[in-house]
Structure formats: C-alpha cells, structure tokens
Amino acid sequence: MQKVILRCENLKKNFGQREILKGVSLKLMEGDILGFIGPNGAGKTTTIKLMSGLQSITSGKVFINGYDIETDFTKAIENVGTIVESPDLYMYMSGYDNLKLVANLYKNVDKQRIDEIVKLVGLENRIKDKVSKYSLGMRQRLGIAQAILHKPKLLILDEPTNGLDPEGIKEVKTLLKKLAKEEKMAILISSHNLAELDTFCNKICIIKNGEIVETNDIDTFKKDAKNNCYILEVEDSSVIGSIINYKMDILTEREVRVYIEKEDVPLLLKELILRNVKVYSASEENLSLEDAFLKKTGGNVIE
Amino acid sequence: MNKLIKNELVKILAKKSTIVMAIIILVVVIGFNVLNKKGAEISGSYSAYSNSYVSYLEEELKSLDANNPADVNDYVETKSELDVAKLGKEYTEISWQADVIQKFIAPVISEINNYKYLEKDEESLNEVQKEYDEMVKALSNDWKYFANKDLEEKNESIDELNKMLETDNENEDIKNQLQNLNFQKEVITLRLDKDIPYGSETYKSQAMQNYEMYMTNYNGYAQEKNITEDEKSEMNNYLQKANLYKYDIENDKEYQNPATANYTLQNSIGTYIVIIVLVIVIVAGVMISEEFNKGTIKLLLVRPYSRTKILMSKLIAVFITMFITTLLIILLQLIIGGFVYGFSTYFMNVVQFDLTSSSIVTMNIFAYLGLIFVCKLPILILIGTLAFALSTLSLNSPLAIALPIFGYMGSEMINLIAVSYGWNWIKYFVTPNWDLSQYLFGGTPLFSNMSVEFSITICAIYFVIMLVCSIITFKKRNIKNV
C-alpha cells in the first residue's frame, strides 16, 4: 500500500472579501509527481503557501505525513522541502554557506550530505562563490539543493524550471524522477510550462479560479481529452468537402482534419479511394497536454 | 534554538556592512585617543594675550585722553588691561605666572592706574608701586611668595569676620563668608603643603584648580536655603568631583587625569555608547524587515521551528551582537589607549566617591567597567528591542533605524525638559529610568521618589510590551504573494 504524504481537504483562503481558494482538495502518495497547473492568478502559489504554513488557512485542513500543518506545524513541516515563488537565497553569502545554514537546522544533515547534494545538482565548481554572482539557473539549482537537503518526504516546487536552459531542465527532470523513485519522495510541481510536465509527471491537477477543475493520472487525462481527429493527406483538399459528410477542417492545400470515430476510418478511406481521390496518408492527430489543458480551462478569467 | 541563534549570527557576520561598522569603530577609537592627546598638548603652548591684542589696546589708548574727565575712566580701564597684557604675553596660558597675574597682579595694576590718573594720590601710588615691583620680581621664580601673601590676607579677613561675628552672631551672611574664606585658606595651605604651583601646567595644578572650582560651586549650593531636585543632584555631582580631586592631591595620585590610558578606559562605555547604540539599532532594525523584503524569510519559516522561536532567536542574536560590539570597543580602547598613553596605568584601580558613606571607594578597573555596562544595559536592550519591534511591525528598515536613533538622541532633552517643568509623571516613561548609573555611589536619581527597583520594573514593562507586540505580529503575518 502506498502511503499518503499530502492531503488537502477543502482548502479555502480569503483575502478580505475576495475568495482566492474555493475549496481545494488534493491527495499525494509517496513516489507521485504531481503537476499542479493553472493559469496566472488561479491560486497555485496561494495553495502552496497554505501547504507550507506561510499563510494562514481560512478554512480546511492540510495534513503532511499525517500531521496537521496548523496544529502540529513543526512535525508537519519537517517532512517538507520547498521553493516558493523563486529561490530567495542570501545573496551576500556563498552557495555553500547558504546550504550550511539550512543544514544547521536539521539533525540528519552532515557535511557529507551537503557535498552529495551539491554534486547532485551539479554546482560543485561554483559552490564557494557568492550567490549574487550566480545566474538564475544556478540559483534555481541551489534552491532545489536547499529543498532536498534534509531528505523531505514531500517536495513542493513552485516553477522549478524557471530560468533553466533545456539541458538544465532535462537534468532537473531526471533528478526529480530519481528522487521520486529512489527516495520515494512525493513531489508537487507547479508550472506554466505544460510541455515539460507531459513527459515526467504521473498525475496532473488543474486549478482554475481557485477551484480544482480536474485531478487525474496523466494518461487518463490525455485519453479523456482525445477528440477523435485524423489528418488526411490528399492531392487536393478542396474537393474533399463535397465528397464526405463528416465534420472537417481544411488545414492546407493537401491536408484536412476530419472528426471521425476510429471504427469509421476504413469506411472513409474506402469511399475516398472509390471516388478516385488520391490519399497519401492518414494519421491520428496527437493532442498535446497544452491543448488538453486549454480545452479544460477554456482560458482563465481573473475575477 | 541554539542553532537558530548561531545561524543568525553567521548571517550578521557575513554581511559587508558588519566589516564596515567594525572599521568605523576602529577609526573612531583611534581618532578619539589621538585627538584627546593632541588637544591636551596644543592647549598648553599659547599665551592668553597675543601681540596683535597688545597693539590693538595701544591704538585704543592713543584715542583716549587721560586729562579729559569724560575719557578718564575708560583710559584707566584700557591702560590696566594693556599693562596686564604686556606682562602676560610672555607666559603660556597654563603657566602659574599667567594664573598669578590674573589673580593677584591685575588688581594691583588697576590700583596703580587708579591712583595715577583718577585720584592722583602720590603717596598711595608709591606704596602700591612698591608692592607691584616686588610682585614682578617674584614672578620670575617664586610662586610661593603669592601664596603666602594670599594666606596672610585670608587670615586677616578671617580675624576681622570673627570679630564681627562676636557682636552679631546671628548674621548668616557673615557665617557664609567665613566658611568660604576658611575653605580658601585650606586650599592655599594645601597648595603650599604639597608644593603645587598655580596654573594648570601639571596634572597636580589642574587637580588643585578643579578641586577649588567644584568645592566653591558646591558651597554655593550648600549655603542656599531651598534648592530644587536637579540642583541637588548637580550639587552632589560637584561634591563627588571635588572629593576625587582632593583624594588625588592628598595621596599624590593621578586617578582623575584624563590623559591616561586608565581614565579613558574606565570611561569608555560612556564615551562610545552612541556607537554601541548605532550598531545595535542598525542590526536590529533590518533583522526582520530585510528578510521579508528580500523574500528570504520563506527560507526560514519552512523549517521545523515555531515562529516564536525564530523571532526570539533573532532578538537574542541582536543582544549577542551588542555584547560583542561592547567587548570589541573595550578591547580596542585597551590596546589603542595603551599605545597612545602607555600601558602602566592599567594596573591602577578606579577611584570613586561614595555619597552615602562620604568616603572614597576603590575598584578594579574591569569590575568597574562591568558595573557600568550592567547599569547602561537597559538603554541598549530597550533601544535594540524598539528597533527590532519596529522592524517586525512595519517591515520598513529606514523607519526602524531612524526612530530609535532619534529617540535616543532626544532622551536627554526629554529628561531635561521634564525636570525643568517638574513633570513628575514622566518618571513612568523609560528615558528617566533606563540609565541605572544614576543610582551608583549614592547618586540622586532624576526624580527623588524613584528607586532602582522602580526603574528596573518600568524598563521591564516597556520591554515586555514591545516583545509581545512583535511576537503577535510576527506569528499572524502572512507571506504575501509577489
């Protein structure tokens, strides 16, 4: 049985009269990587702040490893590593000193562990430099380093790939996958960059206007979002419309998108061939996560 | 929580501004010692009268006519001043001669000019002229001539007054005058006895001068019938100082000599307290606000410690910084003072006059410094906590630094105004209470009905109020979305 690491129950947050969160519920098992996505102003960062005790909860509960974040703060937060908003570090100190400050506050972190983590995030050549001399990408890596230093059970990362180059993004992804697999960390990642989450999250949670729109496994999510589209490559796309009576869009001179059930595809092809239409190829259109997301949220309206 | 405090100290030490402040402290301590020594040297090398002053007086005199009845008074006055100046410009300001000329020869000169131009009394003039010639002769090497002469005069006056008192033994004025004369006689006897010349060339002479001045001031207050509270505390202050100088004269010591390493060290906390206050306010004022403004507070708040503990460890780090700063300043003064003035005086004790027992008490210099530090601690703690609380409440570093500094600068003023207007209620405010050194050695507090216990209680109440406000705000504070 997998253990539940994070459980949010009907989380609400008001700023004055405005409702920022209108009852957010989440569940995260060990080893899960949850992509927490939503448009700007949907309440992602607020949810993360409530989870890590940085803001007071109007109503609802957050349990981390079974401890209530409000009543059992120290025990709950002990299991959390986090970057909120941006990796805010002490600029006037070296990266290593920053990590040492964090290490001092936990019992199980020694020098060896620091060195190990520094290597893991690939900062070993620059770790003695002042953070003010770091690039944004290096700060991001250091931010991840300080978050995972004490082997937390739950890692909450607010846009961790911000400012990283494609190589860096790939490395971070590999790293996070490894952490989830080997250390059984539960990881919650908020991001705008949906393409990134595509390949490496196993769960996805969409938030819009302070409400969870959908929580699901990423594969189910993508399957659900399928809308049976096929792309046909033909000699002349303009003539197709008069031949078939399925819903269709003409994409280019040679390409059309046809909305059709899978079982009906052979029938369509047969008919086209009978009518002497040259068909070069027919393929299923792949719906990206981004399209699925836009379809789900339909764009965000900031209330 | 120890680890939290340690982290805070590491952060303070890693800042560039810490090094800047340490350098400033070093420069100030060196500057103070060097200037203090140089100042003492320079003031001794000039005469009170310059050549240009003499020629100015000569010009002035030419424009006046001794035979014109309208001018004659001014003429006598200017002529006397000129004669004194001519005689005095040969000697430095601090020499015994300059002092003697002012005290004894100047009156004789004006007498001479008086007889010569105003009264035209030949007989008296000759008599005074003879006296003057004798004095000028003694001016070359015999200060005791003047002292003995002064003593004779004092004795005569005392006899006279005693006779008057026999007929009128209720007259307070005569009694007071007699008391003053007896004191002056005592000073002259002491001077002759200890062989201390007039002027202020040596420390001994300065001590004699100061003893006479403070004791005269004290007697002045003591003879008054009704005196106010602050006059009383001033009077006690004079008595303390007078007795300390007297102790040095009688025992051939130099405890009160300001140009020694010992004296500068024993007063170092008082001298440099402004710097300690500045350091503590700057450190405390940015403690919370900076972390909020730069976002690094998030790094701290997601650790397994309660917010109260985080806040308290920051405050304790501020106090530790203050303690280290004080130690650093004392250490620097110890070393630099030693190099500037010589290390030998460090083996001397500190001498204080206790008003309750009316006796001299001696103390080890480091014990004394510790005592003074403890007495000044409420100032440092309260100012530091104020800056810290403002930093927590407003998250505005400039405000949290500026306000406590103005408060500290203005505290003396507040006390002064309150005392002069007799606002008794101000004793429930911090500023009259936070300097416990006012109670040391039998000193009188700012308001007569204050006591050490009272002052400590008032300070503690203000401290707790500021602390509770900070804790409540800090615990409730949401980390805003950027």
What tens digit of pLDDT does each residue of B4-43 get?
Answer: 999 999 999 888 889 999 999 999 999 999 888 887 777 6
Q: Does B17 touch chain A (CB under 8 A)?
A: no
- What residues of chain B lie within 8 A of the CB of A72, using their CB? none
A294 in a domain, yes or no? no
Mean pLDDT for all residues in chain A: 82
Measured distance CA(B450)–CA(B456) in Å, rounded: 10
* Contact between A105 and B305 using a beta-carbon 8 Å cutoff: yes
Q: What is the per-residue pLDDT for A302?
A: 45
Among all chains, which residue has been given the structure tokens 């409440």? Answer: B393
Closest residue to A78, CB basis, from B299, B304, B306: B304
Q: What is the per-residue pLDDT for B313?
A: 94
What tens digit of pLDDT does each residue of B359-411 get?
Answer: 888 888 889 999 999 999 999 999 999 999 999 999 989 999 999 999 999 98
| ipTM of the complex in this document | 0.80
- The answer to whether residues A246 and A177 belong to one domain is no
Among all chains, which residue has been given the structure tokens 């006056």? Answer: B157
- The answer to whether residues A272 and A194 belong to one domain is no
Compute the average pLDDT of residues A215-243: 74
Domain limits for position A259? 227-286
Among all chains, which residue has been given the structure tokens 């059309």? Answer: A256
- To the nearest whole Å, the CA of B479 is away from the closest chain A CA by 6
Could you tell me the residue ranges of all domains in chain B? Answer: 2-42+260-476, 47-141, 142-257
What percent of chain B is modeled with pLDDT above 70?
99
Locate B190 and state its tokens: 């002491």
Q: Is the pTM of this model over 0.90?
A: no
A295 in a domain, yes or no? no
Measured distance CA(B30)–CA(B36) in Å, rounded: 10
* Contact between B14 and A97 using a beta-carbon 8 Å cutoff: yes
For A14, name the nearest residue in chain B, comparing CA atoms only.
B478
What tens digit of pLDDT does each residue of A74-95 get?
Answer: 988 988 999 887 888 899 999 9
A172: part of which helix (H) or strand (E)? helix A166-182
- What residues of chain B lie within 8 A of the CB of A55, using their CB? 478-479
- The answer to whether residues A122 and A188 belong to one domain is yes
Measured distance CA(B159)–CA(B176) in Å, rounded: 14
Measured distance CA(A145)–CA(A117) in Å, rounded: 6
Environment class of residue A239 by beta-carbon count within 10 Å: exposed (0-12), middle (13-18) or buried (19+)? Answer: exposed
Residue A188, classed as helix, strand or coil, is strand
A292 in a domain, yes or no? no
Residue A247, classed as helix, strand or coil, is coil
For A71, name the nearest residue in chain B, comparing CA atoms only.
B306
What tens digit of pLDDT does each residue of B424-446 get?
Answer: 888 888 888 888 888 888 777 87
Choose the mutation target among A13, A45, A100, A101 for the interface with B, i.e. most B CBs under 10 Å. Answer: A101
Measured distance CA(B80)–CA(A213) in Å, rounded: 106
- The answer to whether residues A135 and A116 belong to one domain is yes
* Contact between A74 and B478 using a beta-carbon 8 Å cutoff: no
What tens digit of pLDDT does each residue of B71-98 get?
Answer: 778 888 888 888 888 888 888 888 888 8
Residue A110 belongs to a domain with what CATH number? 3.40.50.300
Closest residue to B11, CB basis, from A56, A88, A90: A90
Identify the CA nearest to A48 among candidates A32, A29, A62, A67: A62
- The answer to whether residues A15 and A110 belong to one domain is yes
A291 in a domain, yes or no? no
- The answer to whether residues A162 and A234 belong to one domain is no
Measured distance CA(B312)–CA(B475) in Å, rounded: 12
- The answer to whether residues A214 and A250 belong to one domain is no
- The answer to whether residues A259 and A200 belong to one domain is no
Q: Does B42 touch chain A (CB under 8 A)?
A: no
What tens digit of pLDDT does each residue of A34-75 get?
Answer: 888 887 778 888 888 888 888 888 888 899 988 988 888 998
For B18, name the nearest residue in chain A, comparing CA atoms only.
A92
Q: In sequence order, which residues have a C-beta less than 8 Å from that of residue B125 and are 6 or more positions away? A: B112, B115, B116
* Contact between A88 and B478 using a beta-carbon 8 Å cutoff: no
A300 in a domain, yes or no? no
Q: In sequence order, which residues have a C-beta less than 8 Å from that of residue A142 and are 6 or more positions away? A: A87, A89, A95, A98, A99, A121, A123, A131, A134
* Contact between B481 and A85 using a beta-carbon 8 Å cutoff: yes
- To the nearest whole Å, the CA of B297 is away from the closest chain A CA by 9
Q: Does B169 touch chain A (CB under 8 A)?
A: no
- The answer to whether residues A184 and A235 belong to one domain is no
Closest residue to B305, CB basis, from A54, A74, A146: A74
- What residues of chain B lie within 8 A of the CB of A89, using their CB? 296, 299
Dihedral sign of CA atoms B396, B401, B402, B406 in order: positive
* Contact between A74 and B304 using a beta-carbon 8 Å cutoff: yes
Number of Cα atoms under 13 Å in the Cβ half of residue B135: 24
Dihedral sign of CA atoms A113, A115, A117, A119 in order: negative
Chain A residues touching chain B at CB-CB below 8 Å? 45-46, 49, 52-56, 73-75, 77-78, 80, 82, 84-86, 88-93, 97, 101-102, 104-106, 146
Closest residue to B299, CB basis, from A53, A75, A88: A88
For B305, name the nearest residue in chain A, comparing CA atoms only.
A74
What tens digit of pLDDT does each residue of A170-190 get?
Answer: 888 888 888 888 878 889 988
Q: What strand order describes the sheet that includes A33-37?
A: A80-83, A154-158, A186-191, A33-37, A203-208, A211-217
* Contact between A84 and B16 using a beta-carbon 8 Å cutoff: no
Q: Does B295 touch chain A (CB under 8 A)?
A: yes
Q: Count Cβ–Cβ pairs < 8 Å, chain A vs chain B.
A: 73
- The answer to whether residues A33 and A173 belong to one domain is yes
What tens digit of pLDDT does each residue of B37-72 get?
Answer: 887 777 667 777 888 888 888 888 788 777 777 777
* Contact between B301 and A82 using a beta-carbon 8 Å cutoff: no
Q: Does B66 touch chain A (CB under 8 A)?
A: no
pLDDT for residue A222 is more than 70: no
How many domains is chain A built from? 2
Q: Does B482 touch chain A (CB under 8 A)?
A: yes
CB A172 within 8 A of CB A160: yes
Compute the average pLDDT of residues B162-187: 81
- To the nearest whole Å, the CA of A292 is away from the closest chain B CA by 28
- What residues of chain B lie within 8 A of the CB of A106, using their CB? 303-304
Compute the average pLDDT of residues B305-325: 93
- To the nearest whole Å, the CA of B15 is away from the closest chain A CA by 6
Q: In sequence order, which residues have a C-beta less than 8 Å from that of residue B308 and are 6 or more positions away? A: B471, B474, B475
What is the secondary structure of A22-73 as a DSSP string? EEEEEEEETT-EEEEE--TTSSHHHHHHHHTTSS--SEEEEEETTEETTTSH
- Report residue A223's pLDDT band, with 50, 70 and 90 as the boundaries: low
Measured distance CA(A62)–CA(A143) in Å, rounded: 24
- The answer to whether residues A251 and A158 belong to one domain is no
- What residues of chain B lie within 8 A of the CB of A151, using their CB? none
Closest residue to A77, CB basis, from B4, B6, B304: B304
- To the nearest whole Å, the CA of A288 is away from the closest chain B CA by 30
Q: Which of A269-273, B203-207, B285-289 has the highest mean pLDDT?
A: B285-289
- What residues of chain A lie within 8 A of the CB of B294, using their CB? 88, 91
A198 in a domain, yes or no? yes
Which residue, of A204, A223, A242, is where some domain finishes? A223
What tens digit of pLDDT does each residue of A193-215 get?
Answer: 676 776 778 888 888 888 887 77
- The answer to whether residues A8 and A105 belong to one domain is yes
